[in-house]
Amino acid sequence: MNRICMNCLKRFHICRSRLEEKPGRGKFCSRECTDTYKKEHQLAKDENNPAWKGDDVSYSGIHRWLRNNFEKTDGCIRCGKSTGFKDNRSGTVWALKKDRDYSRDRDDYLELCVKCHSLYDWGRWTDDKGEKHPMTRVAEIGIVEI
């Protein structure tokens, strides 16, 4: 099939089977044209994006925003673990501090591994003596050496 590139407007040929393989193929003649077009037509980010919802964002939306905008450190602030238990990707997640509302403020979140996040949410953090640490203590000081 002959097509016209959306970026450089040159004619190019693409096999019908390639078009059927994945929807959306056959718009650009090369990877370079694809990348150039995407850079030039990139949607505005954050407040400038027409789909921006401000503080009326969903649970999954705020978590996606946190992943994209906050740099992760070396690991969990409680146990120091830096990789996930199933793979080598970052094993830390953003946990909302107790008595805080979902926001776009980095100070409202703790960087914890999945296990410590669960313990934090359920109020079951203990030290090596088995004594429970109140959740409010963790939220107030941010980092707990245990």
Does position 85 have pLDDT exceeding 60, yes or no?
no
In whole angstroms, give the CA distance from residue 11 to residue 16.
15
Q: Give the tens place of pLDDT for each residue, 11-62.
A: 999 988 888 887 778 899 999 998 888 887 776 667 777 677 777 788 888 8
Give the pLDDT of residue 11: 95
Backbone angles phi, psi at 70, to 5 degrees: -110, 125
Return the exposure string of 44-61: e unless at least 16 CB atoms fall within 10 Å of the residue's CB, then b: eeeeeeeeeeeeebeeee
**Per-domain boundaries in the chain:** 2-42, 59-141
